[in-house]
Structure 1
Amino acid sequence: MNNIEFVDVVLDVRIGDVGKGVVSYDLLKTHSHDLCVKFNGGPNAGNTIYIESSDNNNTPTYKKMVLHMLPIGMAKSDVYNLISSDCVIDIEKLKKEIEYVKSYGIDITGRLFISKACHIITKENIEYDCQNNLVGSTASGIGPTYANKMLRIGKRVEDYAEEFEAMGAQVVDMRKFWTSEFVVNNVKGVLLQGSQGFELDINWCGTYPYCTSSTCTIGGAINTGIPIRKLRNIYGIAKIYDTYVGKMEFQPPGDEDLIRIGDLGREYGSTTGRRRQCNYLNLDKLKEGLIINNCNICIINKVDIVAELGIFRLYHNNELKEFSVLDDMKNFIIEQMSIYVPDIKEVIFSYSPYRI
């Protein structure tokens, strides 16, 4: 693997829906990654990006794209893509998503690799999930599929190899992929793209059983088999406020400011369309997520929402703290990072839905 020069990782260090897709896409456009790897989850993920073009007056225009199972790199024609072994796949949804990407005029030929060890979401998995959905999941069959994987009774991509190849994907053995002639000749920079969030991780969630069934942490990224010594930047992504989708009570009742934040931020799930519950940023939990995932860069999205509303609050030491101006809130976050998360070398505040 000496041909690989650097590996970057994008992780959600909160509860999902923090803008990982936008960050991943922006990094792919600016940091010379050759390969984008999705390392966990399935169609329960929803990554929204905006593809930029120009009109006749050279004014930038943006076309929205939402991907669920495909890595974000599929939106960039010169990037190869891999769905790694710990992902789960709904075959029919993947077929539709590939056609959806093609509808943007994007050629996928030779650009999509899928681990033969990914497990398949069956109709039975989905039916079970719908009938026994006690935690407010997306009812996509994710939990039952991972359960079958652990019970060693699941179906895998290798059982349907011809069907995947007919879609234009190449089914690969991850034990051989990283040393393959293809990788040696074509891959120098790698971006590992996580799904869901640290607080939803099956092992690290603080609100079990209100969690997902996969590994959403840096451990899941390393499980791809990538050389650890090549890790360069681990990006921990959050929003300036927190959101959650599921049956757990998360948003304090009667807080009109949180309703305003949710309205302006258009906080609806890209997979289910459900309204997300909103709360103020929990800085204590954000710091935990950054520390445990060994992040060295923190990106905080949707700052434009609180800036427009003039609502500057966060939780610190389990108490709600309010600031008179946005700069005071940002400076407090940076100060806390410098004290308690010394590995963080940069905190980036993003005001745009189109880029970092």
Structure 2
Amino acid sequence: MTCNILVGGAWGDEGKGKCITYLCNNDKPDIIARAGVGPNAGHSVEFNGEKYGLRLTPSGFVHTGAKLMIGAGVLVNPDVLFKEFEDLKKYNVKERMCVDPRCAIISNDHMERDKSSEHLAKKIGSTGSGCGPANSDRVLRTIDLAQDIPELEGYITDVSLACNETLDEGGDVFIEGSQGFALSLYYGSYPYVTSKDTTASTFAADVGVGPTKVDEVINVFKSYISRVGEGPFPTEMSQKEAEDHGWEEYGVVTGRRRRIGYFDMDLAKESCRINGATQIALTCVDKLYPDCARTQDYSDLSVESKAFIEDIQSATGVPVTIISTGPDLNDTIDLRKELL
């Protein structure tokens, strides 16, 4: 029986999609449960030469033996969900998907309010997906729930009950969070944050699993930092400097160009502390150290890259167990057996 949570370490875009895909494809949990805010965050998944941009479907969908679940704390836009059913048809996502009856539903009105809000759209840099207004209505207790939507009737499942029963029976549950720690409504750079907390504790609550049942918290960091939208960014570089490094990126949901900065050790320390991280997954090492591209053995990494990894471990007190050296799942160094 194991229950693992994966969380973004910074402002999102850390490469969680690849990490989730790798972990679920190798560890093969019985349930992969989506936590987090809702369809305002995108995960990129590359598998068997194809690339997918996901907003609600758990990124571990490539493990076809798992049930896919959306926890009660997640906002659901049925149109987004049904489109992903079509896009992922060959993986039988539709047949494996379960939605908690207590999920709140995003309406067209929520999206319009999001896009037209001077404060959200222009000052904060909202994605316009309706999550902020929907969470506001949820707090006011005026929103529809998944159990009220006829189109979702065939997918309704008590996700908390299913996850806990699976754990009690000796099964494995993988909880994947969206966005990143620094976008937390509580611990992020307020007011330039998302509309709820985005830490591991809340992700566990999103799917209804108590803290005593969580075994590992995997904090994902990119070897450099990126951010979409407004707000403080202590290590930010110019777009010209980012281009010179080959670090030009665009958001999965919005298509907006991401702001780029150097790795922030202070942010990493705070993120690991508040998330209670037990492991770190480090992505895009090949973009910081191109000579490490596609490396699959730790001993083959450069001296500089090993020193960088050791600095992160020393600063945070958390072992770096997963190291991504390229976009393919095989471009991964997995040190869990050696370090845990």
Smaller-chain TM-score bracket: 0.7 to 0.9
1:222-257 CA distance string (max 9 Å, x none) = 202224333222111011110010023647565633
Q: CA deviation at 1:26?
A: 0.4
* Aligned mate of 2:316, from 341, 345, 348: 341
- 1 CA distance for matches of 2:187 and 2:46? 31
Percent identity over the alignment? Answer: 27
Tell me whether 1:106 sits opposite 2:88 in the alignment.
Answer: no
Q: Which has the larger radius of gyration?
A: 1
**Structure-2 change in CA distance of 1:336 and 1:43 (3 Å):** closer
Q: CA deviation at 1:347?
A: 4.4
Tell me whether 1:240 sits opposite 2:223 in the alignment.
Answer: yes
* Secondary structure, counterpart of 1:269 in structure 2: coil
Provide structure 1 residue ranges, at least 5 long, that are not aligned to the other structure: 53-61, 311-324
Letter in 1 for 2:147: E
Aligned equivalent of 1:94: 81
- 2 CA distance for matches of 1:295 and 1:240? 17
- 2 CA distance for matches of 1:118 and 1:153? 13
Tell me whether 1:150 sits opposite 2:150 in the alignment.
Answer: no
Q: CA deviation at 1:341?
A: 3.0
Letter in 2 for 1:256: K
Q: CA deviation at 1:178?
A: 3.9
Aligned equivalent of 1:23: 19
- 2 CA distance for matches of 1:242 and 1:179? 35
Q: CA deviation at 1:171?
A: 0.5
Q: CA deviation at 1:175?
A: 5.5
Aligned equivalent of 1:159: 148
Provide structure 2 residue ranges, at least 5 long, that are not aligned to the other structure: 293-300, 333-340
Aligned equivalent of 1:75: 62
Aligned equivalent of 1:116: 101
- 2 CA distance for matches of 1:272 and 1:345? 33
Aligned CA RMSD, in angstroms, stands at 2.4
Structure with bigger strand share is 1
* Secondary structure, counterpart of 1:195 in structure 2: coil
- 2 CA distance for matches of 1:187 and 1:106? 25
1:143-171 CA distance string (max 9 Å, x none) = 000000111111110110x3013xxx521
Tell me whether 1:84 sits opposite 2:71 in the alignment.
Answer: yes
Q: CA deviation at 1:42?
A: 1.4
1:3-54 CA distance string (max 9 Å, x none) = xx101111101110001111011001111211101111211111111112xx
Aligned equivalent of 1:350: 324
Give every structure 1 segment of 4 or more consecutive aligned residues whose post-TM-superposition deviation is greater than 6 Å. 184-187
1:276-305 CA distance string (max 9 Å, x none) = 000111111111101211111111111111
- 1 CA distance for matches of 2:163 and 2:29? 15
**Structure-2 change in CA distance of 1:37 and 1:178 (3 Å):** closer
8 A contact 1:283–1:333 mirrored in 2: no
Q: CA deviation at 1:337?
A: 2.4
Q: CA deviation at 1:307?
A: 1.6
Paired residues for 1:99-248 under 5 Å? 99-102=86-89, 105-108=90-93, 110-132=95-117, 133=121, 134-160=123-149, 162-165=150-153, 169-174=154-159, 176-178=161-163, 183=166, 188-205=171-188, 207-223=189-205, 224-248=207-231
* Aligned mate of 1:331, from 307, 311, 315: 307
Aligned equivalent of 2:296: none
- 2 CA distance for matches of 1:11 and 1:297? 11
* Secondary structure, counterpart of 2:82 in structure 1: helix
Aligned equivalent of 2:32: 36
- 2 CA distance for matches of 1:220 and 1:31? 23
Aligned equivalent of 1:260: 244
Letter in 2 for 1:334: E
- 2 CA distance for matches of 1:73 and 1:252? 31
* Aligned mate of 1:292, from 274, 281, 293: 274
Q: Give the length in aligned residue pairs.
A: 316
- 1 CA distance for matches of 2:144 and 2:21? 31
Letter in 1 for 2:212: R
Aligned equivalent of 2:298: none
Structure with bigger helix share is 2
